[in-house]
Amino acid sequence: MRRITISLLLFAGISWSANAQKDLTIDEIFRKPELNPVTLRQLKWAGSSSRVSWVAKEKLILHTIGKREAGSQAFKPDTVLSVAELNKDLKRFPQITWLDEERFAYSFKGNQIVFNWKTKQELSRLNFGEDAELTDFTEKQDKVATTKGNNLFVQVGSTVRNISNESNKDVVYGQSVHRNEFGISMGTFWSPTGAKLAFYRMDQSMVTDYPIVNIGTKPAEVNAIKYPMAGQKSHHVTLGVYDWATEKTIYLQTGEPNEQYLTNISWSPDEKYILIAVVNRDQNEMKLNQYNVSDGSFVKTFFTESDPQWVEPENPAVFVPGTVDQFIWQSERNGYNQLYHYNLDGKLIKAICPEQMIVTDFNGFDIKGKEVFVTVSENDGLQRNAWRISLKGKATKIQMANGMHRFQLNSEGTMLLDEFSSAEIPKTSVFNPYSALVKSADGKIELILQDSVDPTLGYNLPKPSIVKLNASDGSVLNGRLYMPKNMKSGEKYPVVIYLYGGPHAQMVTNSWMAGGNLWMSWMASQGYIVWTMDNRGSSDRGLEFEQAVHGRLGTIEMEDQLKGFEYLKSLPQVDPARIGVHGWSFGGFMTTTLLTKNPGVFKAGVAGGPVIDWSLYEIMYTERYMDTPEQNPKGYEEANLLNAAKNLKDRLMLIHGTVDDVVVWQHSQEMVKKCVDEGVLIDYMIYPEHPHNVSGKDRLHLYKTISRYLMDNL
């Protein structure tokens, strides 16, 4: 029997008085930032284990935990620096990096500036140039690595050295590689003291050029990008190491084959070694390798991880404080992302996490390096909590309120900054959707820095609820349901299903729904039931849940989404003849899948930036979940929506940005052509000069387009 549990969650406050409430407009969602809860901007530990800082009204605020006004329990933060005192040319307070108790660094017009807030004096200025595209500073801020074009430079003071002088535009230095998969977000890696710099060198000459047409010029211009599609040739990556003292560069001997992934780069504390998680092209084997920095030689493989579906390392090794030969490794080898304590001999000292724990973030060590603090996914992925775990394996849950927490650990591992969001019904009459707390390592609240009141009070917004369903294999599927307020007894209402459904995403959590997510509440206020559900394949639920989709994208996901559809049909308020679907990217793929493979079931759909044919999508992502087209022809054939275009009976609008370099425009164009060939009617909308996401001022236009289409057809 299908198990259904419903927990009421509050969206727009707890007190519903008889007073008249305003109706939210779609313009306000995207044009009224005050609808978002007020948070503490740049909240962080300020070079101290007990001092925090944030920015308010373009002023730097500091507070020492434990400091109180005489005779009062209230805390009084100190305003220590205005933006004008920092730099008269600045209008907004810049992003800062604390160096110690008094000094922080920030960037301005091609300069990295170190400033003392106490003396209000600029201490140093490193001019790296406004033409620098990417910058990476040492911890001491005394050196910077920059990229300009496809080349890499290192600078100390006014001395600039070319790490590369490459004229071939297909060879790129110091930039992110492998299309930002495997947790990769940058292409340079300073050693602990800043004496050496490791960097990626990427040769893309073997990768096919892909044309992106820019219509902003007369005539239009073609911008050729390197886009390796599934089954095609991939770029070749090596890792170089530059030594500032010797002015020499060596390359690590990462070996053959050239088409492999060099991921999760980490330095040993003594700067003698670099650790790399080397993943094969098939993404079913990973070797954690050690290399000697002095000559680039391969030292050894610590261990090999393999999986018939995929391996996906996303976090580099973290060395235990006070040691040069012990590190923590994150892995899903037992089905859940957990921590493993190793030494440099390659010996596993201990697997330190409790059984079935799912770690989502590694927050750091205590000052002695004996305990780690982690964020853990709990309650079927609906919430996050903090745990402290000793390297001997003793795990203690730090008691937190149910919801989504984001933590910052202080330098001594004694207190956590906790930015908390929840959608649960509160026990008090005032709902604080976001709270900024300081908590001791045992969970005791030391200080409430901020309670943000509900910014949507006074608006006529419906309440959402969390619904739990069961997939065919018994897995719990989390859904979020919005019902219109003041529903009339016996009346049937149309439904909008908003979905994503792909890996590395989770749509339904116990969190406050702000920003563009208010669109779902707004649609409910317009008389639509709105539903979102995370199917199997989505993240932070364990490897079995995530890998269920391997080799057949769109199949298991569709099966689960149809479970949600059946649940909706079972509700007496739902008109089953008026159910529509909307999603973007993987959600666009799922929307098109649902309508073409279930003709006559859904009334209408809007698919944004949709993948139509997985053989047109990039190697790193696609081959992890689908293998290559040669290895898995049946899976690609079944997932190819061109083959299902002839089945389309319902109203479907495709939307695409014309300079999309993630899901290239070819996907939706081929779908339109196939529909024309088959005599099938389809609707189409483009956003000229927009990439994968339509952002900025045009986002309101996008959502008005989506809303009108759904309203016209439901």
What digits encode the pLDDT tens for the residues 369-392?
Answer: 999 999 999 999 999 999 999 999
Same domain, yes or no: 442 and 578: no
**CB atoms inside a 10 Å sphere around CB 602:** 23
Same domain, yes or no: 473 and 448: no
pLDDT at 15: 33
Confidence band, pLDDT 50/70/90 cuts, at residue 656: very high
Helix, strand, coil shares of the chain, percent, nearest 5, are 15, 40, 45
Q: How far apart are the C-alpha atoms of 471 and 462, rounded to whole Å? A: 28
CA atoms within 13 A on the CB side of 629: 16
Name, in order, each residue with C-beta under 8 angstroms of 314's C-beta and a sequence gap of 6 or more: 182, 183, 264, 330
Decide if 344 is inside a domain.
Answer: no
Q: How far apart are the C-alpha atoms of 17 and 33, rounded to whole Å? A: 25
Q: How far apart are the C-alpha atoms of 611 and 584, rounded to whole Å? A: 9
Same domain, yes or no: 491 and 638: yes
Decide if 59 is inside a domain.
Answer: no
pLDDT at 421: 82
**CB atoms inside a 10 Å sphere around CB 279:** 26
**Beta strands 604-608; 651-657: pairing state:** parallel
> Which strands form 121-127's sheet, in the order they lie side by side?
97-98, 103-108, 111-116, 121-127
The mean pLDDT of the chain is: 92
Q: pLDDT higher for 61 or 437?
A: 61
pLDDT at 228: 97
Same domain, yes or no: 440 and 462: no
Same domain, yes or no: 170 and 244: yes
Q: How far apart are the C-alpha atoms of 420 and 413, rounded to whole Å? A: 19
Residue with tokens 């989390």: 478
Which of these three, 453, 472, 491, is where a domain ends? Answer: 453
Which of these three, 424, 453, 482, is where a domain ends? Answer: 453
Same domain, yes or no: 606 and 640: yes
Distances from the Cα of 203 to the Cαs of 174, 500, 501, 657, in angstroms?
A: 12, 33, 33, 28
Decide if 129 is inside a domain.
Answer: no
Helix (H) or strand (E) holding 698: helix 698-713
18 token code pair: 């008889």
Same domain, yes or no: 293 and 430: no
**Using H for helix, E for strand and C for coil, what is the string for 311-346?**
CCCCCCCEECCCCCCEEEEEECCCCCCEEEEEECCC
Please tell me the pTM assigned to this model: 0.93
Distances from the Cα of 76 to the Cαs of 118, 437, 647, in angstroms?
A: 18, 15, 65
Q: Please give the average per-residue pLDDT across 592-599, as a whole number.
A: 98
CB contact at 8 A, 80 and 52: no
pLDDT at 201: 98
Distances from the Cα of 211 to the Cαs of 430, 437, 606, 638, 694, in angstroms?
A: 54, 49, 26, 27, 20
Q: Which of 136, 366, 418, 660 is catalytic?
A: 660
Strands (E), 528-612: 529-533, 574-584, 604-608
Look up 660 and say whether it is catalytic: yes
Tens digits of residue pLDDT in 419-458: 888 875 322 222 334 456 666 777 777 778 877 778 888 8
Determine the length of the chain.
Answer: 714
CB contact at 8 A, 386 and 377: no
What backbone phi and psi angles, to 5 degrees, belong to 708? -65, -40
Same domain, yes or no: 533 and 573: yes
Decide if 58 is inside a domain.
Answer: no
Decide if 335 is inside a domain.
Answer: no
Q: How far apart are the C-alpha atoms of 9 and 6, rounded to whole Å? A: 9
Range scoring the smallest mean pLDDT among 125-129, 421-425, 514-518, 542-546: 421-425
Decide if 147 is inside a domain.
Answer: no
pLDDT at 605: 98
Decide if 709 is inside a domain.
Answer: yes
Q: How far apart are the C-alpha atoms of 424 and 466, rounded to whole Å? A: 10
Going by C-alpha positions, the residue among 594, 692, 605 that lies closest to residue 652 is: 605
Tens digits of residue pLDDT in 286-324: 999 999 999 999 999 999 999 999 999 999 999 999 999
**Beta strands 529-533; 493-499: pairing state:** parallel
Q: How many domains does the chain have?
A: 3
CB contact at 8 A, 691 and 635: no
Q: Which of 142, 170, 692, 698 is catalytic?
A: 692
pLDDT greater than 50 at residue 667: yes
140 token code pair: 């001491």
CB contact at 8 A, 337 and 331: yes
Which of these three, 431, 453, 475, is where a domain ends? Answer: 453
What backbone phi and psi angles, to 5 degrees, belong to 543? -65, -40
CB contact at 8 A, 327 and 376: no
Same domain, yes or no: 518 and 407: no
User: Domain of 301?
Assistant: 164-316
Decide if 638 is inside a domain.
Answer: yes
Look up 585 and say whether it is catalytic: yes
Look up 692 and say whether it is catalytic: yes
- Tell me the β-bridge partners of 607: 583, 654
pLDDT at 84: 96
Burial readout 507-524 (b: 16 or more C-beta within 10 A, e: otherwise): bbbbbbbbeebbbbbbbb
Q: Please give the average per-residue pLDDT across 111-120, as a whole number.
A: 96
Tens digits of residue pLDDT in 547-570: 999 999 999 999 999 999 999 999
pLDDT greater than 60 at residue 673: yes
Residues of the chain above pLDDT 70, percent = 94
Q: Which of 475, 585, 668, 707 is catalytic?
A: 585
Same domain, yes or no: 548 and 673: yes
pLDDT greater than 80 at residue 1: no
pLDDT greater than 90 at residue 34: no
* Greatest extent of the chain over all pairs of C-alpha atoms, in Å: 81
CB contact at 8 A, 363 and 418: no
The CATH number for 259's domain is: 2.140.10.30
Tens digits of residue pLDDT in 256-270: 999 999 999 999 999
Q: How far apart are the C-alpha atoms of 663 and 166, rounded to whole Å? A: 29
440 token code pair: 């001791």
516 token code pair: 């563009």
Q: How far apart are the C-alpha atoms of 302 and 343, rounded to whole Å? A: 9
Same domain, yes or no: 535 and 446: no
Same domain, yes or no: 640 and 496: yes
Q: How far apart are the C-alpha atoms of 16 and 512, rounded to whole Å? A: 18
pLDDT at 10: 26
Q: How far apart are the C-alpha atoms of 188 and 315, rounded to whole Å? A: 16
pLDDT greater than 80 at residue 17: no
Residues of the chain above pLDDT 90, percent = 83
